Amino acid sequence: MDLRRCLPLFVLAASLLLGGCASTGPVSLAEVRQFADASARLGGYGELSRRYRDTYEREQPYLSPAADRIAKENDARRRAVYDDFVSIQKTVVLYMQTLSVLAGDARYDLSDRIDDLGNGLKANAESGLQQRQIAAYTGLTRLLTRVIASGYQNRSVETMVRDGDADVQVLLEAMIALTKLYAKTNDNEKKTVLGIFDVEIPFSTKTSDRMLVTLAKVHYLNKSTEYKLVDKRYDLALQGLTKVSLGHQKLRENLNNLHGDEVRKLLATYARDLTKLRDALSD
Amino acid sequence: MANDEKLKQDGAKAPPPSPAEAMSTAHQVEELADKLSECADSIHQRVMRDIRRHQGQDVPEPEQMAARALLNAEMELRQRANRLYGEAAACIVSSLGQPQAHLIQLTVDAADKIKRITRIGDGITLVARLLGLAAAASTGQVVPILAAVEGLKTQLDIVAIDNAPPLPASSA
Protein backbone atom coordinates (compact mmCIF):
# COMPACT_ATOMS: atom_id res chain seq x y z
CA MET A 1 0.00 0.00 0.00
CA ASP A 2 1.15 3.48 -0.76
CA LEU A 3 1.16 5.39 2.49
CA ARG A 4 2.12 8.55 0.69
CA ARG A 5 -1.38 8.62 -0.61
CA CYS A 6 -2.78 8.59 2.94
CA LEU A 7 -0.87 11.72 3.85
CA PRO A 8 -3.39 14.25 2.52
CA LEU A 9 -6.00 12.39 4.54
CA PHE A 10 -4.11 12.95 7.79
CA VAL A 11 -3.74 16.57 6.96
CA LEU A 12 -7.41 16.80 6.13
CA ALA A 13 -8.34 15.03 9.38
CA ALA A 14 -6.24 17.40 11.43
CA SER A 15 -7.70 20.39 9.63
CA LEU A 16 -11.20 19.18 10.28
CA LEU A 17 -10.48 18.49 13.93
CA LEU A 18 -9.11 21.93 14.51
CA GLY A 19 -10.84 23.84 11.78
CA GLY A 20 -14.01 24.30 13.77
CA CYS A 21 -12.54 27.25 15.56
CA ALA A 22 -11.43 28.91 12.37
CA SER A 23 -14.72 30.73 11.79
CA THR A 24 -13.60 33.50 14.15
CA GLY A 25 -10.90 34.45 11.67
CA PRO A 26 -7.32 35.38 12.34
CA VAL A 27 -6.25 36.79 15.69
CA SER A 28 -6.80 40.49 15.43
CA LEU A 29 -7.77 42.05 18.69
CA ALA A 30 -5.28 44.84 18.18
CA GLU A 31 -7.97 47.49 18.70
CA VAL A 32 -9.15 45.86 21.93
CA ARG A 33 -5.58 45.91 23.13
CA GLN A 34 -5.08 49.53 22.12
CA PHE A 35 -8.24 50.54 23.90
CA ALA A 36 -7.32 48.62 27.05
CA ASP A 37 -3.79 50.06 27.01
CA ALA A 38 -5.03 53.61 26.56
CA SER A 39 -7.59 53.08 29.34
CA ALA A 40 -4.98 51.72 31.73
CA ARG A 41 -2.67 54.67 31.06
CA LEU A 42 -5.23 57.44 31.28
CA GLY A 43 -4.00 59.95 33.82
CA GLY A 44 -5.79 62.56 35.83
CA TYR A 45 -7.75 60.67 38.44
CA GLY A 46 -4.75 59.68 40.56
CA GLU A 47 -3.27 63.15 40.55
CA LEU A 48 -6.63 64.79 41.30
CA SER A 49 -7.22 62.32 44.14
CA ARG A 50 -3.92 63.44 45.67
CA ARG A 51 -4.85 67.06 45.14
CA TYR A 52 -8.14 66.42 46.91
CA ARG A 53 -6.36 64.73 49.81
CA ASP A 54 -4.00 67.73 50.17
CA THR A 55 -6.73 70.40 50.07
CA TYR A 56 -6.07 71.57 53.64
CA GLU A 57 -2.35 72.18 53.07
CA ARG A 58 -3.20 74.66 50.33
CA GLU A 59 -6.16 76.44 51.92
CA GLN A 60 -4.94 76.57 55.54
CA PRO A 61 -3.13 79.94 55.40
CA TYR A 62 -6.29 81.65 54.15
CA LEU A 63 -8.76 80.25 56.69
CA SER A 64 -10.43 82.07 59.57
CA PRO A 65 -10.08 80.32 62.96
CA ALA A 66 -13.68 79.09 62.82
CA ALA A 67 -13.32 77.75 59.28
CA ASP A 68 -9.96 76.24 60.18
CA ARG A 69 -11.51 74.07 62.89
CA ILE A 70 -13.91 72.49 60.40
CA ALA A 71 -11.23 72.30 57.73
CA LYS A 72 -8.96 70.31 60.05
CA GLU A 73 -11.67 67.71 60.56
CA ASN A 74 -12.37 67.61 56.84
CA ASP A 75 -8.67 67.01 56.27
CA ALA A 76 -8.63 64.01 58.61
CA ARG A 77 -11.69 62.54 56.91
CA ARG A 78 -10.26 62.98 53.43
CA ARG A 79 -7.01 61.34 54.46
CA ALA A 80 -8.89 58.42 56.02
CA VAL A 81 -10.55 57.45 52.73
CA TYR A 82 -7.77 58.39 50.34
CA ASP A 83 -6.51 54.81 50.06
CA ASP A 84 -9.99 53.72 49.00
CA PHE A 85 -10.02 56.32 46.23
CA VAL A 86 -6.71 55.01 44.97
CA SER A 87 -7.63 51.35 45.19
CA ILE A 88 -10.62 51.87 42.87
CA GLN A 89 -8.30 53.19 40.22
CA LYS A 90 -5.75 50.45 40.81
CA THR A 91 -8.43 47.81 40.30
CA VAL A 92 -9.59 49.35 37.03
CA VAL A 93 -6.00 49.72 35.80
CA LEU A 94 -5.21 46.11 36.71
CA TYR A 95 -8.30 44.97 34.86
CA MET A 96 -7.41 46.98 31.75
CA GLN A 97 -3.82 45.78 31.81
CA THR A 98 -4.98 42.18 32.01
CA LEU A 99 -7.44 42.74 29.19
CA SER A 100 -4.63 44.24 27.14
CA VAL A 101 -2.45 41.17 27.72
CA LEU A 102 -5.31 38.85 26.80
CA ALA A 103 -6.06 40.80 23.63
CA GLY A 104 -2.44 41.29 22.66
CA ASP A 105 -1.22 38.99 19.93
CA ALA A 106 2.34 40.26 20.01
CA ARG A 107 3.01 38.33 23.18
CA TYR A 108 1.98 35.09 21.58
CA ASP A 109 3.57 35.84 18.26
CA LEU A 110 4.69 32.46 17.08
CA SER A 111 6.19 33.51 13.78
CA ASP A 112 9.72 32.87 15.04
CA ARG A 113 8.83 29.38 16.00
CA ILE A 114 7.01 28.83 12.74
CA ASP A 115 10.10 29.94 10.87
CA ASP A 116 12.19 27.50 12.90
CA LEU A 117 9.76 24.84 11.91
CA GLY A 118 10.06 25.90 8.30
CA ASN A 119 13.85 25.57 8.47
CA GLY A 120 13.41 22.14 9.98
CA LEU A 121 11.17 21.28 7.12
CA LYS A 122 13.75 22.37 4.60
CA ALA A 123 16.31 20.12 6.25
CA ASN A 124 13.77 17.33 6.06
CA ALA A 125 13.25 17.88 2.39
CA GLU A 126 16.10 15.55 1.52
CA SER A 127 14.62 12.77 3.61
CA GLY A 128 11.74 12.34 1.27
CA LEU A 129 9.39 15.27 1.80
CA GLN A 130 8.59 17.09 -1.37
CA GLN A 131 8.45 20.83 -1.85
CA ARG A 132 4.70 20.76 -2.35
CA GLN A 133 4.23 18.97 0.97
CA ILE A 134 6.50 21.38 2.79
CA ALA A 135 4.40 24.27 1.56
CA ALA A 136 1.27 22.47 2.73
CA TYR A 137 2.73 21.85 6.19
CA THR A 138 3.95 25.40 6.59
CA GLY A 139 0.49 26.59 5.63
CA LEU A 140 -1.08 24.17 8.04
CA THR A 141 1.27 25.25 10.80
CA ARG A 142 0.26 28.84 10.37
CA LEU A 143 -3.38 27.91 10.28
CA LEU A 144 -3.07 25.78 13.39
CA THR A 145 -1.29 28.39 15.44
CA ARG A 146 -3.70 31.08 14.35
CA VAL A 147 -6.75 28.95 14.96
CA ILE A 148 -5.66 27.77 18.37
CA ALA A 149 -4.48 31.18 19.45
CA SER A 150 -7.58 32.96 18.24
CA GLY A 151 -9.83 30.44 19.96
CA TYR A 152 -8.04 30.95 23.25
CA GLN A 153 -7.74 34.68 23.02
CA ASN A 154 -11.22 35.40 21.80
CA ARG A 155 -12.71 33.33 24.55
CA SER A 156 -10.52 34.84 27.24
CA VAL A 157 -11.27 38.37 26.14
CA GLU A 158 -14.94 37.56 25.86
CA THR A 159 -15.13 36.00 29.31
CA MET A 160 -13.21 38.82 30.88
CA VAL A 161 -15.31 41.56 29.31
CA ARG A 162 -18.64 39.80 29.84
CA ASP A 163 -17.95 38.99 33.48
CA GLY A 164 -16.20 42.26 34.20
CA ASP A 165 -18.38 44.87 32.52
CA ALA A 166 -20.93 45.44 35.29
CA ASP A 167 -18.23 45.97 37.93
CA VAL A 168 -16.01 48.01 35.65
CA GLN A 169 -18.97 50.30 34.99
CA VAL A 170 -19.71 50.62 38.72
CA LEU A 171 -16.10 51.55 39.46
CA LEU A 172 -15.87 54.00 36.55
CA GLU A 173 -19.13 55.60 37.61
CA ALA A 174 -17.68 55.94 41.11
CA MET A 175 -14.47 57.48 39.74
CA ILE A 176 -16.53 59.95 37.72
CA ALA A 177 -18.67 60.85 40.74
CA LEU A 178 -15.57 61.24 42.92
CA THR A 179 -13.82 63.42 40.34
CA LYS A 180 -16.88 65.68 40.29
CA LEU A 181 -16.75 65.90 44.10
CA TYR A 182 -13.03 66.71 43.90
CA ALA A 183 -13.85 69.48 41.43
CA LYS A 184 -16.56 70.95 43.66
CA THR A 185 -14.29 70.84 46.68
CA ASN A 186 -11.59 72.52 44.63
CA ASP A 187 -14.10 75.17 43.61
CA ASN A 188 -14.79 76.03 47.25
CA GLU A 189 -11.05 76.08 47.92
CA LYS A 190 -10.52 78.44 44.98
CA LYS A 191 -13.26 80.80 46.12
CA THR A 192 -11.94 80.75 49.68
CA VAL A 193 -8.40 81.59 48.57
CA LEU A 194 -9.30 84.23 45.99
CA GLY A 195 -12.27 85.59 47.96
CA ILE A 196 -10.12 87.22 50.62
CA PHE A 197 -8.29 89.27 48.00
CA ASP A 198 -11.54 90.30 46.30
CA VAL A 199 -12.55 91.91 49.57
CA GLU A 200 -9.30 93.03 51.17
CA ILE A 201 -7.58 94.63 48.16
CA PRO A 202 -10.27 97.34 47.77
CA PHE A 203 -10.06 98.01 51.53
CA SER A 204 -6.33 98.66 51.40
CA THR A 205 -6.23 102.20 50.10
CA LYS A 206 -3.62 103.79 52.37
CA THR A 207 -0.35 104.84 50.76
CA SER A 208 1.50 102.64 53.24
CA ASP A 209 -0.47 99.65 51.92
CA ARG A 210 0.94 100.06 48.46
CA MET A 211 3.62 97.38 48.57
CA LEU A 212 1.27 94.96 50.29
CA VAL A 213 -1.42 95.55 47.67
CA THR A 214 1.09 94.99 44.86
CA LEU A 215 2.22 91.71 46.37
CA ALA A 216 -1.38 90.69 46.93
CA LYS A 217 -2.26 91.41 43.31
CA VAL A 218 0.68 89.33 42.07
CA HIS A 219 -0.31 86.50 44.38
CA TYR A 220 -3.92 86.71 43.23
CA LEU A 221 -2.84 86.51 39.61
CA ASN A 222 -0.66 83.45 40.22
CA LYS A 223 -3.36 81.71 42.17
CA SER A 224 -6.12 82.38 39.69
CA THR A 225 -3.90 81.07 36.87
CA GLU A 226 -3.17 77.95 38.91
CA TYR A 227 -6.86 77.30 39.49
CA LYS A 228 -7.72 77.90 35.85
CA LEU A 229 -5.21 75.25 34.83
CA VAL A 230 -6.46 72.81 37.45
CA ASP A 231 -10.08 73.33 36.41
CA LYS A 232 -9.16 72.12 32.92
CA ARG A 233 -7.68 68.95 34.37
CA TYR A 234 -10.91 67.98 36.12
CA ASP A 235 -12.64 68.40 32.81
CA LEU A 236 -10.08 66.31 30.90
CA ALA A 237 -10.12 63.57 33.55
CA LEU A 238 -13.92 63.39 33.41
CA GLN A 239 -13.88 63.22 29.63
CA GLY A 240 -11.37 60.38 29.78
CA LEU A 241 -13.27 58.34 32.36
CA THR A 242 -16.48 58.77 30.38
CA LYS A 243 -14.73 57.54 27.23
CA VAL A 244 -13.31 54.49 29.01
CA SER A 245 -16.80 53.68 30.27
CA LEU A 246 -18.38 54.10 26.83
CA GLY A 247 -15.62 52.13 25.12
CA HIS A 248 -15.99 49.21 27.49
CA GLN A 249 -19.74 49.28 27.03
CA LYS A 250 -19.28 49.07 23.24
CA LEU A 251 -16.84 46.22 23.74
CA ARG A 252 -19.42 44.39 25.82
CA GLU A 253 -22.18 45.01 23.26
CA ASN A 254 -20.07 43.70 20.39
CA LEU A 255 -18.47 40.66 21.98
CA ASN A 256 -19.76 38.44 19.21
CA ASN A 257 -18.42 40.70 16.54
CA LEU A 258 -15.01 41.84 17.75
CA HIS A 259 -13.58 41.35 14.28
CA GLY A 260 -16.18 43.52 12.58
CA ASP A 261 -14.76 46.56 10.82
CA GLU A 262 -17.12 48.98 12.51
CA VAL A 263 -16.35 47.78 16.04
CA ARG A 264 -12.64 47.83 15.36
CA LYS A 265 -12.82 51.35 13.98
CA LEU A 266 -14.87 52.49 16.95
CA LEU A 267 -12.46 51.01 19.49
CA ALA A 268 -9.50 52.48 17.62
CA THR A 269 -11.17 55.89 17.79
CA TYR A 270 -11.71 55.56 21.54
CA ALA A 271 -8.08 54.53 21.99
CA ARG A 272 -6.90 57.53 19.96
CA ASP A 273 -9.13 59.93 21.90
CA LEU A 274 -7.90 58.52 25.20
CA THR A 275 -4.28 58.91 24.12
CA LYS A 276 -4.98 62.54 23.16
CA LEU A 277 -6.59 63.18 26.55
CA ARG A 278 -3.62 61.59 28.27
CA ASP A 279 -1.23 63.82 26.33
CA ALA A 280 -3.31 66.87 27.24
CA LEU A 281 -3.18 65.82 30.90
CA SER A 282 0.59 65.41 30.87
CA ASP A 283 1.14 68.92 29.46
CA MET B 1 -30.78 60.42 71.12
CA ALA B 2 -32.15 56.94 71.61
CA ASN B 3 -33.08 56.91 67.96
CA ASP B 4 -29.60 57.96 67.01
CA GLU B 5 -28.07 55.13 68.96
CA LYS B 6 -30.46 52.66 67.43
CA LEU B 7 -29.52 53.91 63.98
CA LYS B 8 -25.85 53.49 64.79
CA GLN B 9 -26.34 49.93 65.94
CA ASP B 10 -28.36 49.06 62.86
CA GLY B 11 -25.66 50.65 60.75
CA ALA B 12 -23.01 48.48 62.35
CA LYS B 13 -24.95 45.30 61.69
CA ALA B 14 -26.21 46.12 58.20
CA PRO B 15 -24.16 44.99 55.21
CA PRO B 16 -22.53 47.75 53.16
CA PRO B 17 -24.96 49.45 50.78
CA SER B 18 -25.09 48.35 47.17
CA PRO B 19 -23.20 50.65 44.78
CA ALA B 20 -26.53 51.95 43.42
CA GLU B 21 -27.87 52.73 46.91
CA ALA B 22 -24.62 54.39 47.90
CA MET B 23 -24.61 56.45 44.72
CA SER B 24 -28.14 57.65 45.36
CA THR B 25 -27.36 58.61 48.98
CA ALA B 26 -24.18 60.32 47.82
CA HIS B 27 -26.14 62.31 45.26
CA GLN B 28 -28.52 63.59 47.93
CA VAL B 29 -25.64 64.59 50.19
CA GLU B 30 -23.91 66.22 47.24
CA GLU B 31 -27.03 68.22 46.36
CA LEU B 32 -27.20 69.56 49.89
CA ALA B 33 -23.54 70.52 49.68
CA ASP B 34 -24.23 72.26 46.36
CA LYS B 35 -26.88 74.35 48.09
CA LEU B 36 -24.42 75.40 50.80
CA SER B 37 -21.84 76.29 48.14
CA GLU B 38 -24.46 78.35 46.31
CA CYS B 39 -25.31 80.21 49.53
CA ALA B 40 -21.61 80.97 50.00
CA ASP B 41 -21.49 82.28 46.41
CA SER B 42 -24.48 84.53 47.08
CA ILE B 43 -22.88 85.96 50.20
CA HIS B 44 -19.73 86.71 48.25
CA GLN B 45 -21.65 88.41 45.44
CA ARG B 46 -23.53 90.49 47.98
CA VAL B 47 -20.31 91.64 49.66
CA MET B 48 -18.74 92.50 46.34
CA ARG B 49 -21.79 94.45 45.24
CA ASP B 50 -21.55 96.60 48.37
CA ILE B 51 -17.85 97.18 47.84
CA ARG B 52 -18.33 98.14 44.18
CA ARG B 53 -20.98 100.66 45.16
CA HIS B 54 -18.16 102.81 46.55
CA GLN B 55 -16.57 102.95 43.07
CA GLY B 56 -12.99 102.81 44.28
CA GLN B 57 -13.57 105.30 47.11
CA ASP B 58 -12.70 104.38 50.71
CA VAL B 59 -15.15 101.92 52.25
CA PRO B 60 -16.22 103.11 55.72
CA GLU B 61 -14.84 101.08 58.65
CA PRO B 62 -18.21 99.66 59.83
CA GLU B 63 -18.94 98.40 56.33
CA GLN B 64 -15.51 96.83 56.17
CA MET B 65 -16.19 95.02 59.45
CA ALA B 66 -19.53 93.79 58.12
CA ALA B 67 -17.90 92.62 54.89
CA ARG B 68 -15.23 90.70 56.82
CA ALA B 69 -17.83 89.07 59.03
CA LEU B 70 -19.75 87.98 55.93
CA LEU B 71 -16.53 86.71 54.34
CA ASN B 72 -15.91 84.56 57.43
CA ALA B 73 -19.42 83.19 57.22
CA GLU B 74 -18.91 82.43 53.54
CA MET B 75 -15.69 80.60 54.35
CA GLU B 76 -17.32 78.55 57.05
CA LEU B 77 -20.17 77.59 54.71
CA ARG B 78 -17.64 76.43 52.14
CA GLN B 79 -15.99 74.20 54.74
CA ARG B 80 -19.40 72.79 55.69
CA ALA B 81 -20.09 72.12 52.02
CA ASN B 82 -16.70 70.43 51.64
CA ARG B 83 -17.50 68.28 54.66
CA LEU B 84 -20.61 67.05 52.84
CA TYR B 85 -18.69 66.47 49.60
CA GLY B 86 -16.30 64.38 51.66
CA GLU B 87 -19.15 62.41 53.15
CA ALA B 88 -20.61 61.78 49.72
CA ALA B 89 -17.22 60.52 48.55
CA ALA B 90 -16.81 58.24 51.57
CA CYS B 91 -20.31 56.91 50.98
CA ILE B 92 -19.48 56.02 47.38
CA VAL B 93 -16.30 54.13 48.22
CA SER B 94 -17.95 52.25 51.10
CA SER B 95 -19.95 50.23 48.56
CA LEU B 96 -17.15 49.24 46.23
CA GLY B 97 -15.50 46.36 48.07
CA GLN B 98 -17.49 43.70 46.25
CA PRO B 99 -17.06 44.96 42.66
CA GLN B 100 -13.34 45.45 43.28
CA ALA B 101 -12.89 41.97 44.72
CA HIS B 102 -14.73 40.49 41.76
CA LEU B 103 -12.62 42.33 39.19
CA ILE B 104 -9.42 41.32 40.91
CA GLN B 105 -10.58 37.70 40.85
CA LEU B 106 -11.21 38.08 37.12
CA THR B 107 -7.65 39.23 36.57
CA VAL B 108 -6.36 36.26 38.58
CA ASP B 109 -8.43 33.91 36.40
CA ALA B 110 -7.14 35.67 33.32
CA ALA B 111 -3.54 35.29 34.46
CA ASP B 112 -4.18 31.56 34.65
CA LYS B 113 -5.57 31.58 31.12
CA ILE B 114 -2.61 33.55 29.87
CA LYS B 115 -0.32 30.83 31.23
CA ARG B 116 -2.32 28.32 29.25
CA ILE B 117 -2.18 30.40 26.12
CA THR B 118 1.59 30.18 26.33
CA ARG B 119 1.11 26.45 26.04
CA ILE B 120 0.32 27.18 22.43
CA GLY B 121 3.55 25.21 22.05
CA ASP B 122 1.14 22.28 22.08
CA GLY B 123 0.01 23.40 18.67
CA ILE B 124 3.59 23.49 17.47
CA THR B 125 4.23 20.04 18.88
CA LEU B 126 1.16 18.84 17.09
CA VAL B 127 2.57 20.02 13.82
CA ALA B 128 5.86 18.36 14.60
CA ARG B 129 3.99 15.10 15.19
CA LEU B 130 2.23 15.54 11.91
CA LEU B 131 5.61 15.97 10.27
CA GLY B 132 6.80 12.82 11.94
CA LEU B 133 3.80 11.08 10.48
CA ALA B 134 4.51 12.48 7.07
CA ALA B 135 8.12 11.39 7.25
CA ALA B 136 7.08 7.94 8.41
CA ALA B 137 4.53 7.75 5.63
CA SER B 138 7.17 8.58 3.09
CA THR B 139 9.38 5.72 4.29
CA GLY B 140 6.56 3.23 4.06
CA GLN B 141 7.56 1.53 7.33
CA VAL B 142 4.73 0.47 9.64
CA VAL B 143 6.26 0.81 13.13
CA PRO B 144 7.28 4.48 12.84
CA ILE B 145 3.88 5.24 11.34
CA LEU B 146 2.04 3.69 14.27
CA ALA B 147 4.27 5.51 16.76
CA ALA B 148 3.67 8.76 14.93
CA VAL B 149 -0.10 8.26 14.86
CA GLU B 150 -0.05 7.57 18.62
CA GLY B 151 1.94 10.75 19.21
CA LEU B 152 -0.45 12.75 17.11
CA LYS B 153 -3.46 11.41 18.96
CA THR B 154 -2.02 12.31 22.36
CA GLN B 155 -1.21 15.78 21.16
CA LEU B 156 -4.66 16.33 19.71
CA ASP B 157 -6.14 15.28 23.06
CA ILE B 158 -4.02 17.84 24.87
CA VAL B 159 -5.08 20.60 22.52
CA ALA B 160 -8.70 19.53 22.80
CA ILE B 161 -8.57 19.67 26.60
CA ASP B 162 -7.01 23.09 26.60
CA ASN B 163 -9.57 24.38 24.14
CA ALA B 164 -12.49 22.88 26.00
CA PRO B 165 -14.71 25.14 28.08
CA PRO B 166 -13.68 25.21 31.76
CA LEU B 167 -15.01 22.36 33.87
CA PRO B 168 -17.57 23.19 36.54
CA ALA B 169 -15.90 23.96 39.83
CA SER B 170 -17.44 20.94 41.58
CA SER B 171 -15.60 18.42 39.45
CA ALA B 172 -12.29 20.28 39.59
pLDDT of residue A94: 84
Range of the domain at A227: 28-281
B97 in contact with chain A, both atoms CB, cutoff 8 A: no
B161 in contact with A, Cβ within 8 Å: no
Asked if residue A242 belongs to a domain, the reply is yes
Cα–Cα distance measured from residue B116 to residue A131, given in angstroms and rounded to the nearest whole number? 34
CATH classification at residue A104: 1.20.1170
Q: Give me the interface pTM, i.e. the ipTM.
A: 0.74
Within-domain flag for A91: yes
Give pLDDT, residue B55: 85
Q: For residue range A37-67, what is the model confidence (pLDDT) as tens digits?
A: 999 988 899 999 999 999 999 999 999 999 9
**For residues A44, A45, A50 and A51, what is the CA-based torsion angle, rounded to 10 degrees?**
60
Q: Is the pLDDT confidence value at A179 over 90?
A: yes
Indicate which of A56, A98, A145 best probes the interface with B, i.e. most B CBs within 10 Å of its own CB. Answer: A98
Beta-carbon separation of A117 and B124 below 8 A: yes
| Chain A positions in Cβ-Cβ contact with residue B30 (cut-off 8 Å) | 180-181, 184
Give the C-alpha separation, A97 to A33, whole Å. Answer: 9
Closest by CA position to B100, among listed B1, B10, B16: B16
Of A116-125, A199-208, B32-41, B147-156, the range with the lowest mean pLDDT is A116-125
C-alpha span between A101 and A8 (Å, rounded) = 37
Residue A64: which of B75, B83, B137 has the nearest Cβ? Answer: B75
Could you read off the pLDDT of A133-163 as tens digits, one per residue? 555 556 555 655 655 566 666 677 888 898 8
Tell me the per-residue pLDDT of A105-115, one tens digit each, with 9 for 90 and over: 544 444 555 55
The pLDDT tens digits for A114-132 are: 555 555 555 544 444 455 5
> In this structure, is the dihedral angle defined by the CA atoms of residues A122, A127, A132 and A133, taken in order, positive or negative?
negative
Contacts of A101 in chain B (CB under 8 A): 110, 114
**Whole-model pTM?**
0.73
CATH of domain B16-95: 1.10.287
Residue of B nearest to A114 (CA): B124
Interface test with B, best of A3, A58, A158 (most B CBs within 10 A): A3
Amino acid, single-letter form, for residue A281: L
Domain boundaries, chain B: 16-95, 105-165
B116 backbone dihedrals φ, ψ, rounded to 5° = -75, -30
Four-CA torsion B149, B152, B154, B160, nearest 10 degrees: -140
Q: Nearest CA to A36 among A177, A247, A238?
A: A247
Q: What are the pLDDT digits (tens) for B75-132?
A: 999 999 999 999 999 999 888 888 888 888 888 777 776 666 655 555 556 566 666 6
Q: Is B116 on the interface with A (CB under 8 A)?
A: yes
Residue A63 to residue B89, Cβ atoms within 8 A: no
Note the pLDDT of residue B19.
87
Q: Give the residue ranges of DSSP H helices in B54-141.
A: 61-94, 97-117, 121-139
Which residues are within 8 A (CB) of B59 and not within 5 positions of it... i.e. 6 or more apart? A202, A203, B51, B67
* Domains in chain A, number: 1
Residues of B in contact with A63 (CB under 8 A): 75, 79
CA angle B137, B140, B142 (to 5 degrees): 90
